[in-house]
């Protein structure tokens, strides 16, 4: 799979990287299905503490369902929040209007641009990193910057070793997303010291090794994780990615096929199958997996621009010029892609056109395609 435009992935918030993306949702689901500390089962208690201060704040939309009606006046509307995820200048405009005292963002890559802006701003302090995301406080509040808590503090806050391990693993994943790798590694060492959840600790360490480009080490840790729990899906994803990166393409494709067959609605599994198929020069299998993934994105009402871009490339590589152009046209209809990203797609389309014709002369799509074949 040719990565023509890596910023597309960062902007749209899907799949790039290392399989740590699978850790948080899978882990939180496990927390909800078992008896565990309610602070790990839902962001409700965390939000209650934040909202109790009674001052205006900015929340990412995934937290909106947990905001009581009486507190809705303290936060922007869902439409304003979603707009700010696409254009950070809109956040600063909202901030001038509402004078936010805090910003609480979930771990979705959709917020990468705003996170970077807040981290580089002298007006904001990253005061807390938790399983639920990142809490920034305005500098005028004199809030201390986040730092790794002491073991004593952690034991007081999380007396149950399993809960403590869960908290540390999930917080480490969110630190990894900020590229704060040393701190994430230290938290995982503390999680390992609890001697609880060994498979999840190992898969998290495998993800961290992957983020450092240590693919052999990552594969070894993922295998150890699977020895402890064969059903650990994040570990299987990380191992598959590591096999691709180390050139073990046949093994990667076999692993990806099995994983996608067993997890037909899992977006990362389908994406890894496409990656593995591309690495093994299995063009039709790459097209099929990306087509399934694009269909799943539409069904889930999620941004599909990135996947359609990859699918268009796969068609072009397979010599299916017409299907490639139609798929790129559909990608251009996706509002989450920036002007620069759309320009990159347009260049590829122009290259695929016959003669000297511009791709802008193509008949427009009347409706988004539901079948790209």
pLDDT tens per residue across span 12-28: 333 434 444 445 555 55
From CA 294, how far away is CA 298, in angstroms rounded? 6
Q: What is the pLDDT of residue 351?
A: 95
77 lies in a domain?
Answer: yes
Residues present in the chain in total? 373
pLDDT tens per residue across span 318-332: 999 999 999 999 999
Q: What is the pLDDT of residue 215?
A: 97
20 lies in a domain?
Answer: no
pLDDT tens per residue across span 341-373: 999 999 999 999 988 899 999 999 875 454 444
Is 83 within 8 Å of 336 (Cβ atoms)? no
Q: Average pLDDT over the chain, rounded to whole?
A: 90
Considering 119, 141, 163, which residue would you say is the last residue of a domain? 141
65 lies in a domain?
Answer: yes
- Candidates 349, 339, 342, 336; CA nearest to 10 is 336
Considering 141, 173, 192, which residue would you say is the last residue of a domain? 141
First to last CA, the chain: 18
From CA 95, how far away is CA 57, in angstroms rounded? 9
Torsion-angle region of residue 106: left (phi > 0), alpha (psi -120 to 50) or beta? beta
pLDDT tens per residue across span 40-97: 999 999 999 999 999 999 999 999 999 999 999 999 999 999 999 888 999 999 999 9
176 lies in a domain?
Answer: no
Q: What is the pLDDT of residue 370?
A: 46
CB atoms under 10 Å from CB of 265, counted, come to 10
Residue 235 confidence (pLDDT) above 80: yes
Considering 141, 159, 183, which residue would you say is the last residue of a domain? 141
pLDDT tens per residue across span 187-224: 999 999 999 999 999 999 999 999 999 999 999 999 99
From CA 174, how far away is CA 20, in angstroms rounded? 9
Mean pLDDT calculated for residue range 177-187: 96
203 lies in a domain?
Answer: no
Return the C-alpha torsion angle 6, 12, 15, 17, nearest 10.
Answer: 50
Residue 3 confidence (pLDDT) above 70: no
| 3-state secondary structure at position 130 | strand
341 secondary structure, DSSP code: H
Q: What is the pLDDT of residue 302?
A: 86
Is 266 within 8 Å of 298 (Cβ atoms)? no
**Domain carrying residue 352:** 282-373
310 lies in a domain?
Answer: yes
Q: What is the pLDDT of residue 36?
A: 78
**Number of domains the chain is built from:** 2
- Specify the DSSP element, H or E, that contains 102: strand 102-105
Instruction: Report CA-CA distances (Å) from 229 to 8, 81, 97.
Output: 34, 39, 51
CB atoms under 10 Å from CB of 183, counted, come to 17
80 lies in a domain?
Answer: yes
241 lies in a domain?
Answer: no
């Amino acid at each position: 799979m040719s990565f023509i435009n890596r910023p597309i992935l960062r902007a749209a918030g899907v799949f790039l990287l290392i399989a740590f993306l699978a850790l948080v949702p899978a882990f939180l689901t496990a927390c909800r299905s078992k008896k565990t500390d309610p602070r790990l089962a839902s962001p409700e208690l965390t939000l209650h503490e934040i909202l109790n201060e009674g001052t205006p704040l900015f929340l990412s939309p995934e937290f909106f369902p947990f905001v009581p009606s009486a507190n809705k006046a303290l936060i922007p509307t869902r439409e304003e929040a979603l707009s700010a995820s696409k254009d950070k200048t809109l956040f600063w405009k909202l901030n001038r209007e509402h004078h936010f005292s805090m910003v609480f963002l979930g771990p979705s890559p959709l917020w990468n641009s705003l996170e970077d802006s807040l981290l580089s701003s002298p007006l904001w302090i990253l005061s807390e990193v938790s399983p639920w995301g990142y809490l920034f406080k305005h500098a005028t509040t004199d809030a201390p910057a986040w730092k790794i808590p002491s073991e004593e503090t952690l034991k007081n806050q999380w007396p149950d070793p399993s809960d403590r391990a869960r908290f540390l693993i999930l917080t480490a994943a969110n630190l990894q997303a900020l590229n704060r790798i040393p701190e994430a590694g230290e938290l995982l060492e503390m999680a390992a010291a609890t001697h609880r959840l060994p498979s999840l600790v190992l898969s998290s360490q495998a993800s961290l090794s992957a983020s450092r480009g240590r693919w052999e080490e990552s594969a070894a840790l993922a295998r150890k994780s699977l020895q402890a729990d064969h059903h650990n899906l994040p570990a299987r994803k990380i191992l598959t990615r590591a096999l691709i990166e180390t050139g073990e393409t046949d093994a990667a494709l076999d692993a990806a096929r099995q994983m996608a067959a067993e997890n037909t609605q899992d977006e990362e599994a389908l994406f890894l199958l496409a990656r593995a198929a591309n690495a093994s020069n299995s063009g039709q299998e790459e097209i099929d997996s990306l087509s399934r993934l694009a269909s799943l994105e539409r069904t889930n009402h999620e941004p599909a621009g990135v996947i359609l871009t990859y699918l268009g490339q796969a068609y072009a590589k397979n010599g299916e010029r017409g299907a490639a152009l139609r798929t790129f046209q559909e990608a251009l209809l996706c509002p989450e892609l920036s002007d620069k990203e759309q320009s990159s797609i347009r260049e590829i389309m122009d290259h695929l056109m016959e003669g000297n014709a511009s791709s802008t002369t193509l008949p427009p799509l009347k409706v988004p395609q539901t079948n790209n074949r």
